[in-house]
Amino acid sequence: MPHRSYDHYCAVSRALDLVGDRWSLLVVRELCSGPRRYSDLFADLPGISTDMLATRLRNLERDGVLRHHRNGMRSSYELTELGRGLRPVLDALAGWGAPLLGARNPTDAVRAHWLALPLGRVLADALTEGTVTVHIGDTVLHFVRTADGISHHDGPAIAPDHELRFELAEAVEIATGGRDLPPHALTAQR
């Protein structure tokens, strides 16, 4: 399929030429925490067809947003420097969209790690530096807060400064601003 363009000499338009197709930014969201295999991406993007995922991955690789690593029978996808530059965009979209979530519809898919971006904003406000492992039900992520900002990664931190445990409903309330982070959640060191 030919590369589609808005053909506008505009920074927003040019960015949307690369990541404005349906599913593209959600693929990038999935890769923000680190490399993922195709099967993991497919499992965590309910509703996407295998053809659509393959097309998005191919296009994002062609445009330099992600890199496909092949190692024998195993392969994975990861963001390039250009792709990692979308993190602040996703952070802004998550901050803008979190209060709009409202009540969950019975048909809404949910994955605990989808809360990483809005939870990261909450943790960044509460922590000046450090590492936090967050358990949301059975899902485990960790956040690294530096002077440059906050990032999230799959799995627990090796030596976290803090460890938090939430049920999914509680994590949703904190991420959407419906509940504050527990008052002493980040005061006790390891």
The pLDDT tens digits for 31-84 are: 999 999 999 999 999 999 999 999 999 999 999 999 999 988 889 999 999 999
pLDDT in tens, 1-16: 557 788 999 999 999 9
Predicted pLDDT of residue 147: 92
100-157 confidence digits (pLDDT tens):
988 889 999 999 999 999 999 999 999 989 999 999 999 999 999 999 899 999 999 9
Pairing of strands 162-166, 130-136: parallel
pLDDT at 1: 53
How far apart are alpha carbons 33 and 122 in whole angstroms? Answer: 17
Q: Which amino acid is at 124?
A: A
What fold characterizes domain 11-84? Arc Repressor Mutant, subunit A (1.10.10)
According to CATH, the topology of domain 103-176 is: Nonspecific Lipid-transfer Protein; Chain A (3.30.1050)
Q: Which residues, other chains included, contact 1 with Cβ-Cβ below 8 Å and sequence gap of 6+? A: 55
Q: Tokens in use for 158?
A: 């090796």
**What is the pTM (predicted TM-score) of this model?**
0.91
Q: Hey, where are the domains in the chain?
A: 11-84, 103-176
CA distance 75 to 101: 34
